[in-house]
Amino acid sequence: MDKLKIYSERIGEGYYKINHSSGLTIYVMELEGFNGTSAMFGTKYGSINTVFKTKADPAPAPVPEGIAHFLEHKLFENEDCQVFELFAKTGASANAYTSFDHTVYYFECTESYKENLEILLDFVQKPYFTQETVDKEQGIIGQEIRMCENNPYRRSYFNLMRALYKNHPVRIEIAGTVDSIAEIDAPLLYRCYGAFYNLRNMVLTVAGNCRVDEVLEVADRMLKPAEDNGLETKMPDEPQQVAQTEITEKMSVGVPMFAVGFKSEPASGTELLKKTYAASFILSMLFGPTSRFYRENSESGLINQSFGTETNCGEGYFMCALSGESQDPREVYRRINLEIESAKKSGLSRGEFEELKRARYGETVRSFNNVSACATLMLNSHLNGVGVFDPLEVLVNMTFEEAAGYLDGLLRPDRSAISVIEPNAAAAADK
């Protein structure tokens, strides 16, 4: 077992990285003066991992959409009790989430962190599935899916993803569909669990009022060595162009909603960090609350305070989005593209970039005063293949010229699409 202490002179913080004998990578950040502790146990397995193989499989094969999310739900139910009951007895707050590319189980507590860590490591390593419990869960998650289908914000977003991406599974709802989860059975859950919940594909992070030797003592007791199962995932080929330029749907909304997206080349590692920071700065400069675009179009009433921007990126995808409400979404789309073309001709503001960079640096440094943020940073850094302090170093060293150089590739009108949710007849009549 290797234990490495990594320290940042820049901010005066450090953490331990342990390559545990079980095959699991463990990160521990001891934070003096904190009462709370946060721990995360994650696997590099999300909704986009629908085609994979291990040494036991002759070739990559597809599984039903939504199975990663389904598996997350099922792990909280073991043979004896509901796991939430165990955490409740210790006073810990626990939960989990599934994203496009990873699944994470976590807790936060102010005392008994070692006991909570035992619970966390125990239940995630003890899957218990029967067809009876799978059938029951299909009904529960089916209701969740229907609720999402009736959420106009979520519909707008995933309609945009379907417009931008032709083949990549990021275009599919994380929970899947009612039809896709109907294909899930207990043997299939065990197969996916065995493939992706191998400790060599996972990471444990602990931050706050903790001690590395105490964390390792629990890990030594709770973790069994995992063999390399030869896991391979496969993503479909994705064209550079968008699948379609517009998707429109009618729902019960009072004001039309829109989401405009720009598809660009995916990235990984340090390049992903650079591109993500650059995208954030560029979107803020062109479309943020202090931008000319926001001021002029909000004053005219074309957009309102719901207008905002975001980026979403991962294995095989990178997109920038602008969304909000407007009586004329397509005019907003037209003006967005005009603003982008204007910026490409006249250039970006160096002064605004420096202000945004200083603000982001302050936010990043302050995040080390939050145990949950530290645990999350360690987990995301590992899953993205970068060091824990790399985001800070990339940010500090990024120049205006480097950030501005991403503009052409990030925001290309010919690789953009719009999703519109329009009021249906009932909503229009109520209005």
User: Smallest Cα–Cα separation from 50: which of 163, 145, 191, 200?
Assistant: 191
Q: Is the pLDDT of residue 402 over 90?
A: yes
pTM of the predicted model as reported, rounded to 2 decimal places: 0.94
pLDDT, position 430: 59
Q: Which residues pair with 82 in a beta bridge?
A: 77
Confidence of residue 429 (pLDDT cuts 50, 70, 90): low
- Mean pLDDT value across residues 180-196: 96
Confidence of residue 81 (pLDDT cuts 50, 70, 90): low
How far is it, in rounded angstroms, from Cα 220 to Cα 281? 44
pLDDT, position 105: 97
Give me the catalytic one of 72, 77, 238, 339: 72
CA 425 to chain centroid? 35
Q: What is the pLDDT of residues 298-322, one digit of tens each?
A: 999 999 999 999 999 999 999 999 9
The percentage of residues in the chain with a pLDDT greater than 70, rounded to a whole number, is 98
pLDDT, position 244: 97
Confidence of residue 7 (pLDDT cuts 50, 70, 90): very high
Q: What is the pLDDT of residues 341-398, one digit of tens each?
A: 999 999 999 999 999 999 999 999 999 999 999 999 999 999 999 999 999 999 999 9
For residue 232, with 0-12 CB atoms within 10 Å meaning exposed, 13-18 middle and 19 or more buried, which class applies?
middle
pLDDT, position 427: 58
Which of 88-92, 195-199, 209-213, 305-309 comes out lowest in average pLDDT? 88-92
- Mean pLDDT value across residues 261-278: 97
Domains of the chain and CATH, by start = 2-233 (3.30.830.10), 246-430 (3.30.830.10)
Q: Is the pLDDT of residue 78 over 80?
A: no
232: enclosing H helix or E strand: strand 232-233
pLDDT, position 188: 96
| The 25-30 sheet, strands edge to edge | 2-8, 13-19, 25-30, 202-208, 37-43, 103-109, 93-98
| Alpha-helix runs per DSSP H in 259-349 | 269-287, 292-299, 329-346
Q: Is the pLDDT of residue 295 over 70?
A: yes
pLDDT, position 18: 97
Rg (CA), the chain: 23
Amino acid at position 368, single letter: F
How far is it, in rounded angstroms, from Cα 152 to Cα 304? 17
72 is catalytic: yes
How far is it, in rounded angstroms, from Cα 287 to Cα 295? 9
User: Which residue bears the tokens 């009549």?
Assistant: 429
pLDDT, position 425: 72
Amino acid at position 134, single letter: V
- Mean pLDDT value across residues 98-105: 97
| The 416-423 sheet, strands edge to edge | 246-251, 416-423, 257-263, 317-325, 308-314
